[in-house]
Chains A and B, each alone.
Chain A
Amino acid sequence: MQPMSVTRSGADLQELSDETLMEVLVAGNKAAFEILVKRHKARLYSYLLRLLRDPTEAEEVAQEAFVRAYVHADKYRNIAKFSTWLYTIATNLVRNRIRKLRSSPKLLSLHWGRGEDEEEDREPIDLPDPGDRPDRVLEKSEVQALVAHGIEQIPVRYREAFVLREVNHFTYEEIAEITGLKLGTVRSRINRGRGHFREAMQPLLERMRGAE
């Protein structure tokens, strides 16, 4: 196998897969990493934002995940997808951060507002007032806001696997690798997450039923 060239142009690099870009990076071409960042930063940040619910924290963890991926690029082995590897790093960082927050009750109350496992405190989504047109179709932005809120209502232990599956579209096996959970546990948590999400979206579901 020929060694990766370090002199590939930006246009060439865009065509490469994530895994090949990592090889190019290890060979010395830093531009390859810039492309990886561009490709993954938004979805990674969104995933972290859904877990941490704080934009500053989510950005900080996303940055740290990319730094670690860069520093340890030579340790990346092409036996798993780059995204799986990156999200594994990020998920571990999130868990460390949540653990740190939970050990500090003051920070926890400021940050989370309520216990993450208290299902009784789940707040269903608030539908926008339809005004004079009860059959008004919601705008896409409104639906997106409701979906984001619905995801927030899922307890964090289920939210992680739920988001990885339903939003980031990882396979069950990849989620098991990212989270370190057994496959059966992953399935169970995703199903529980789906149940919670449907419950949170009930107002919108009922409105849709009423509109029929």
Chain B
Amino acid sequence: MQCGIARSWLQSRRDTALSASQQRELDQHVVNCGECAALSRDVRLVESWLEQAPVEDPAANFEWRLKLRLAQVERDSRDLALPARRTIWRPWLQFGGAAAIAALVVVGVGMQVLRSGPAVAPSGGMAFRSAAHGGIVQPLRDAGPGSPSFVGPPVPAAYSYFISSTDSSSSALDSARTPNTFEAR
């Protein structure tokens, strides 16, 4: 038997079991060859040492930390499932909220108008008569010199206000601005 084959068999013994006849042939060669005998011994020693390769333990809190991570992962996956509901929900919230606020403004301003007297028509700008019309303000035609002629649809009392560039004595509201208000100078 040649040393090359013997060395190959010795080194691959862990992977491929030799047949009985191959093992006998190898053993006979090793007895008669000092170099292969040394290699055979080295291979056995190395194998025995590798069997003793230490298995290190991670830190004592490894499992506890892993549990925390898994719990966080589960929380995150639940949160990720929410946005589909949020994106459906939020526009309704916004619409509903805006509607509720507008309704409150209408009620509040309406109550204010009902308590106050008829609006005073100034010399310029557009004036609105309110209150006496059941809370509906009718824009006045030709409210004064320089004012634009405008006859628009009845304006709910909540949106009534007077804007005048000259008259500062108006008692009309000018703070409520909504998409339905009219402006004129």
Please give the residue numbers on chain A whose beta carbons come within 8 Å of chain B beta carbons, in ascending order. Answer: 33-34, 37-38, 41-43, 45-46, 49, 55, 58-59, 62-63, 66-67, 70-71, 140, 143-148, 150-151, 166-167, 172, 187, 191, 194, 197-198, 201, 204-205, 208-209
**In the bound complex, do residue B55 and residue A71 qualify as a contact, i.e. CB atoms below 8 Å apart?**
no
B178 at interface (Cβ–Cβ under 8 A)? no
B69 within 8 A of A: yes
Contact of A208 among B14, B45, B50 (CB under 8 A): B45
Docked Cα-Cα span, A101 to B52, in Å, equals 31
A42 to B58, CA, bound (A): 6
A63-B65, A67-B66 as given contacts; A46 in contact with B15, CB under 8 Å: no
A63-B66, A194-B11 known; A70 vs B53 contact (CB < 8 Å): no
**B38, B41, B54, B59 — which one has the most chain A CB atoms within 10 A of its CB?**
B54
A67–B56 Cα distance when bound, in Å, is 20
Q: Could you tell me if A42 and B15 are in contact, using CB atoms closer than 8 angstroms?
A: no
Beyond known contacts A46-B54, A67-B70, A147-B50: 19 more, CB 8 A cutoff: A38-B63, A41-B62, A42-B56, A42-B58, A45-B56, A58-B58, A59-B58, A62-B58, A62-B62, A67-B69, A140-B52, A144-B52, A148-B54, A166-B14, A187-B15, A194-B46, A197-B46, A201-B46, A205-B46
Chain B residues close to A by CB (< 8 Å): 11, 14-15, 38, 41-42, 45-46, 49-50, 52-59, 62-63, 65-66, 69-70, 73
Complexed CA–CA distance, A187 and B58 (Å): 30
B49 touching A191, Cβ below 8 Å: no
CA distance A46 to B57 in the complex (A): 7
Find out whether the CB atom of B73 lies under 8 angstroms from the CB atom of A37: no
A42 contacts B69, C-beta separation under 8 Å: no
A-B contact count (CB 8 A): 84
Given A144-B54, A151-B53, A167-B53, answer yes or no on A63-B69 (Cβ-Cβ < 8 Å).
Answer: yes
Beta-carbon contact of B45 and A205 below 8 Å = yes
* Bound Cα distance from A71 to B53, whole angstroms: 32
Residues of A within 8 A of B49 (CB): 143, 146-147, 150, 201, 204
Q: Given the interface contacts A63-B66, A147-B49, does A43 sit within 8 Å of B55 by beta carbon?
A: yes
**Bound-state Cα–Cα, A67 to B12, Å:** 37
* B49 CB, min distance to chain A CBs, angstroms: 5
Closest beta carbon of chain B to A25's beta carbon, Å: 11
B15 to chain A: which residues have CB within 8 Å? 172, 187
Q: In the bound complex, how far is the Cα of B73 from the Cα of A70, in angstroms?
A: 10
The 5 closest A-B pairs by CB, nearest first: A144-B54, A45-B58, A46-B56, A167-B53, A166-B50
A211–B87 alpha-carbon span in the complex (Å): 78
Residue of A nearest to B58 (CB): A45
Chain A's closest residue to B65 (CB) is A63
Chain A, residue nearest B50 (CB): A166
User: Which of chain B's residues have a CB closer than 8 A to the CB of A41?
Assistant: 57-58, 62-63
CA A191 – CA B73 in complex, angstroms? 41
User: Please, which residues of chain B bring their CB within 8 A of the CB of A45?
Assistant: 56-58, 62
Question: What are the residues of chain B within 8 A of A201 when measuring CB–CB?
Answer: 46, 49
